[in-house]
Amino acid sequence: MDVRTAVRLLERIAPPERALRDDPIGLALGREDRPVRRVMFALEATPAVVEEALDRGIDLLVVHHHPLYRPTRTIRTDRADGRALARLLQADVAVYVMHTNADAADDGLNDVFAARVGLEAPDVLEVTGREALFKLAVFVPASHHEAVLQAIGDAGAGWIGNYSHCTFNTPGTGTFWAREGADPFLGKIGELTRADEIRLETIVPAGRLDAVLQAMLAVHPYEEVAYDLYPLANEGRPYGLGRIGRLRSPMTLAALAALVAERFGLEGVRIVGDPERPVTRAAVYSGSGARAIPMAAARGADVLITGDVGYHDAREAEALGLAVIDGGHHMEKWFAPHFAGRFRALLAEAEGGESGPPSRSGTPSGAGDRAGEGRSVRTDQETAAPESVAVVVAEADRDPFRFMVRSLAP
């Protein structure tokens, strides 16, 4: 596997279009054709993490925070951060950044926060966009209609509200002329074949498109599958930053603060509000979430769980009647184990023989098994399962803040 192939998999986990505008994501350091055998996930590329990456022979370092998030005119090797970047370049280690696209992804960092806190059926707190939708129409012989319908539905097509596997099916006749070199499922080479087919139509969210097409191609019997893809003007599911929902068990602010410290592995947290205040509805916002204070209050949250809340932000929360639990920015450390696990799962899927994302460099169309039409073209890199790739989580990732002494003064 090379960096280009790894990036393709990472973009399935956290689509780049989910990132906020001007957020620096993607390949920050290195080259796309660099071979990859060892991948490490970390919150950020601190000097300690870089040393660990070099010691462990890492080829690709995947981080949440860009190593050059703040614009700079210089990289000085007489400073620890500059030396770390220089060492990565010298060792040809690639660095890939998943920032707000990882925050806003399905099963992303905010969903990790919501699960650890115990939110029931959480909604998006700050909607930043809506998922694009496609209409998929595939032409299937009647003998394989049910198999294709089931496969694409199981892969995520056909969701309308709380209904799945929603399709519309129209019988018809497809024609094709198999040319020399073809291996037709129906008919013979050198003659026009008419086949009883069903036009199977369904709706597919952009985030499931690759998986749906793979599932369709895996069970469709034709050598050349004819299908159409149409972008839709319909609005898809909202996505964005933060989550809000009811706690599984109502509790006091103090009890929730203790739970947050335990579930996130924190030395301590700061709170805004009466420790004995009951809380039932909570919002979470990964990273620096002071901007979410008015949003959480407007959505009826009793408490906001986030990091980097400043003094005046706390006063705003008080004025709005919103409690706050501030666990610090390093609560985002759960980025590394979560996304490492998701990446391992995609690698296992590929190594199990399932192909990579189909190329969509055009809109395949047509009917039946016509040679040269309706093809899903794949490159060698897309069809080949990656060779064994080790995926590890950085151990040197540490919170720069420590809790030392709690004052006993009133």
Which of these, 139, 168, 171, lies nearest to 153 by C-alpha position?
168
| Residue 298: Cβ within 10 Å count | 11
Q: Is 308 annotated as a binding residue?
A: no
Q: Is 64 annotated as a binding residue?
A: yes
Q: Is 332 annotated as a binding residue?
A: yes
DSSP for 343-383 reads: HHHHHHHHHTT---PPP-SS----STT-TTSS-----HHHH
C-alpha to C-alpha distance for 212 and 217, rounded to whole angstroms:
9
C-alpha to C-alpha distance for 248 and 313, rounded to whole angstroms:
27
| Residue 2: Cβ within 10 Å count | 17
Burial class (CB in 10 A: 0-12, 13-18, 19+), 81: middle
φ, ψ dihedrals at 243, nearest 5°: -140, 155
Kindly list the strands in the beta sheet with 192-205, ordered across the sheet, starting from the edge strand earlier in the chain: 167-177, 192-205, 133-141, 227-231
C-alpha to C-alpha distance for 82 and 289, rounded to whole angstroms:
29
Extract the runs of DSSP E, i.e. beta strands, from 225-302: 227-231, 238-252, 270-272, 278-288
C-alpha to C-alpha distance for 139 and 367, rounded to whole angstroms:
6
CB 33 within 8 A of CB 4: yes
| Numbered residues of the known binding site | 64-65, 103, 329, 332
| Numbered residues of the known binding site for a divalent metal cation | 64-65, 103, 329, 332
